[in-house]
Amino acid sequence: MIEISEHAEKAMSDDGIPEDEVRNCLEHGELEIKQFVKDEIRYGKKLELKNKTIMVIYTLREKIQRVITCYIIRRKKQWQNK
């Protein structure tokens, strides 16, 4: 089961990331981050899609994956071209 925080919902809305892409990232993404924060382990999974790469930060609470935030990874090269 997946639970999405209010912060993650806002981030998804701001970046145009649909819930199905977040679910896909949780299921098939590559584990990039694993760290201990505020008495829990937080994970970060990255998924490369056709036109963007997303990162989903989440924690496990019992059998629930709780999405803390998610965002599009923007590359430095893209920033320099703007």
- 39-54 mean pLDDT: 94
CB 53 within 8 Å of CB 72: yes
Instruction: Tell me what pLDDT residue 38 has.
Output: 84
Instruction: Tell me what pLDDT residue 82 has.
Output: 47
What is the number of domains present in the chain?
A: 1
- 22-35 mean pLDDT: 96
Instruction: Tell me what pLDDT residue 74 has.
Output: 84
Q: Is the pLDDT of residue 76 over 50?
A: yes
Number of other residues whose CB lies within 10 A of the CB of residue 25: 24
Instruction: Tell me what pLDDT residue 21 has.
Output: 96
Q: How far apart are CA 54 and CA 51, in angstroms?
A: 10
Domain that holds residue 39: 2-80
